[in-house]
Amino acid sequence: MEQQGLALINASSAYARGATGSGALIGIMDSGVDVLHQELDGFMKLTSDSYLEYQTRSPTTEEKRHGTHVSAIALGERDGSGMHGVAFDAQLFFISIELGTAGEEYEPATIDSTVDYSGIDNSWSTLESYFTDRQVTVVNGSFGYQGNINDYTEENIRDAFPKTIAVLAQEGTPNADKTIFVWAAGNGGGYADQGVDYSSPEVFGGLAYLLTELSSNTAAVVSVDADGTISSFSNRCGVAKDYCLAAPGRSITSAYAQDAPDTAYYAEFSGTSMAAPHVSGGIALLADYFDGQLGNTEILDRLFQTANKTGIYSDSSIYGQGLMDLNAATQPLGQTMVAVTTSLKGLKHTEFDTSIGSLGPVFGGSFIKNLQEKNFVVFDQLGAPFQKQLSSTYLKNMKSLSWLSSQQSNASKRISEIRTKPNAKTELTFGLQTNNYGEHDLFMSLWAKDERNLKFFALKQELSDSSFYFFGSGVSPSLFFGENKINASLRNKLGSSSQFGSPFLDFVSEGSFIGGGVDIGAYSSFSGVFFKGNHEKEESLVMELPSSSGLHLEYKENFKNSFLSLQTGLLRESESILGGSFSGGYGSIDESFTYYTGLQASRAFSRFYATSSAFFGETHADLSELGLMKSLDKFSTSSFNLGIFTNGIWFPNDSIGLKITQPLRLEEGDMNLSIPVGRTKYREVLFDEYKMDLSPSGREIRAEFIYQREVRKGNFFASFGYIKDQGHMNLSKPEPYVAANWQFYLF
């Protein structure tokens, strides 16, 4: 059986997000209730201290019908039969009172000094105090005095009901703990033919208009039909528009009291009495959905702020704050923010701008692995918490659009390295990028065609027999460090495959440098370089970081058949650490300094050439702004390489080699986080402390056989190998690979 009002308020969206009303307590004061009806679960929904009897007698079945209908709309059981209420898992604290019924003639109440309301005031104040003392979430009042609130004065109301007003206002109770009172706006429109003014709510629904102390915890509810338009019988929001909502009230199917044993009977009623419990149930639903983290008055304000105000609902004189929308109320309103202090005031970090990411394999999958294990909360513009996975802040290394476009136009990615000596003391190195090798001759290119593009250049100039200087752009300064004399012909054939320079210089491989050196004796030399640039990965990724800079020094010994190099240096990164970056709510790094040292050695035997290297680094970071990230412990890193190469093994002009490498890897490093996990209903943010171990779960080892042979008018290059724990992530199986390339020149 369908309760059509639920669709109009988008209740299903709240249910899909897990809201049921569990833990909320709804108070209803009405003419009586059929506790045996299946929608009330045979007493199970009612608290044991509910008042089910009148003072002198029991309610009749007829008297129970209104209260039963109202109660089931708010919280009827969801058991697969009949209908169910808005907050179907909420509990009910019910008070039975004797109420009259509306007659055919509209009879406005007289509230002035001519009538003594002290007895009624004593009774109402006592009954309403039962709800506030019981700390119910919301009280539903589907009854009231006839008469438009505009026909009464503040003085009249205060003189007539001083005690009741004091109970409703709950002075001294924090707003977060105040019980919410929801009132039916009245059915004055049904008496329009009698000239009744129904432009504003009736007395109880309009109280907060005259009494400002009730404005934060009071709502009036007008009725709309199944098509969402205002019901003809309903009062309008009028002067109470600031704390008035619209909800379904026409032909609402709900529980109907019958004499036992029939406990599953239903009927349709219409009125603002039916609209009000939709809102009372909605408040209970939000109390559950936000798990007690929102104060009661915040929940009411949230319903006001998220109500549908589009189209006809923009007319606040009729619909007030609009049609209640539980879909909007259970999702973030406005931009979500990340809290880094216990206060919800002045949040400045958006969820969108809060990110963590890394370039290169140094951290492996440690970021995403740690982030997947934790949840955190973000806050919408009203301060409501919404749980997210911390992994949603991970900045995935997506390929940039410009790089993808360039790949389309320069699919072969060929860069020819040309070394030349204009004179005896000058050496020039060029990296020339050929835009195509014939693959685009027959169709349009996405990239501007230029047959020869200068990718990088470097120059080395001898100042004397024992000193020199060098500089370059677009290439790593490692070009001038390490082994550069032994087996030069082999190195030229295998390219960088036979060289194992400092991995820390990869952080500036796209930049510029200037340096120099001096020979110390016949076999020794000392050199150094200042450098500035960007990580080699940045060219292809969306992620961008400021340039890094530093100093690299080398002392080396060159003998007839062997070589030894001691290298040390300082790498300064702005706003990052080893290619890792943090932004927004995480806080930010001012700069980090990596101090590194390494050893390279090689030796040529009769037919073989062996080379190796090992580098170690320690990194320290200064945080310029604290956020979720509270501190970074000292980081240590390592890399190593081993290789053995030979040539002329099968043919006079071929080369073959085996190399084993471990890319730069974080060996030790922790990040301490303080993560927002919720809030109290008093708007204090709660945090969990979390220590994130950033060392990767695996260790990447690459073993690769390399073969190269010059063929007529071209070159053949092939490699075979396997990768264990690629990207320093613990993988169950190694990944073998085979690659081959035959470059053939037509001219």
**435-472 confidence digits (pLDDT tens):** 544 444 444 444 444 444 777 889 999 999 899 999 99
Q: Is the pLDDT of residue 747 over 60?
A: no
Q: Are 60 and 128 in contact (CB under 8 A)?
A: no
Give me the pLDDT at residue 490, please. 44
pLDDT reading at 662 higher than 70: yes
Q: Give CA–CA dist 480/404, Å, rounded.
A: 31
Q: Say whether pLDDT at 48 is over 90.
A: yes
Which pLDDT value is given to residue 654? 84
Tell me the per-residue pLDDT of 617-660, one tens digit each, with 9 for 90 and over: 999 998 888 899 999 988 999 999 999 988 877 877 888 999 99
Quick check: is 339 in a domain? no
pLDDT band for 540, please (50, 70, 90 cuts): low
431 pLDDT tier (thresholds 50, 70, 90):
confident
| C-alpha span between 409 and 415 (Å, rounded) | 14
CATH of the domain at 199: 3.40.50.200
Buried-state track 573-595, b at ≥16 Cβ within 10 A, e below 16: bebbbbbbbbbbbbbbbebbebe
Angle separating helix axes 272-289 and 296-306, nearest 10 degrees = 110
Buried-state track 155-186, b at ≥16 Cβ within 10 A, e below 16 = ebbeebbebbbebbbbeeeebbebbbbbbbbb
Write the CA distances from 548 to 329, 576, 594, 645, integer angstroms. 46, 9, 11, 34
Which pTM was predicted?
Answer: 0.86
Q: Residue 517, class by beta-carbon neighbours within 10 Å (0-12 exposed, 13-18 middle, 19+ buried)?
A: buried
Q: Which residues contact 237 (CB under 8 A, 6 or more apart)?
A: 185, 200, 201, 220, 222, 244, 246, 316, 317, 318, 319, 320, 321
- Average model confidence (pLDDT) for the chain? 89
What whole-number percentage of the chain has pLDDT above 70? 90
- The pLDDT assigned to 510 comes to 84
H/E element, 267:
strand 266-269
Residue 220 falls inside a structural domain = yes
User: What's the pLDDT band for 385 if we cut at 50, 70, 90?
Assistant: very high
Considering the domain boundaries, does residue 37 fall inside one? yes
The Cα 440–Cα 526 span in angstroms is 47
**Total structural domains in the chain?**
1
Does pLDDT of 43 surpass 70? yes
Residue 255 maps to a domain: yes
Looking at the domain assignment, is residue 482 inside a domain? no
Could you list the residue range(s) of the whole structural domain that residue 291 is in?
5-329
The answer to whether position 617 is within a domain reads: no
Residue 23 lies in a domain: yes
Taking residues 4-22, what's their average pLDDT? 97
CA–CA distance, 201 with 221 (Å, rounded to integer): 8
Mapped onto helix, strand or coil, the DSSP state of residue 277 is helix
Q: Binning pLDDT at 50, 70 and 90, where does residue 541 land?
A: low
Q: Which residues contact 73 (CB under 8 A, 6 or more apart)?
A: 3, 5, 85, 86, 252, 254, 274, 277, 278, 281
Check pLDDT > 80 for residue 214. Answer: yes
Phi-psi region of 334 (alpha: psi -120 to 50; beta: other; left: phi over 0): left
In a domain, 509, yes or no: no
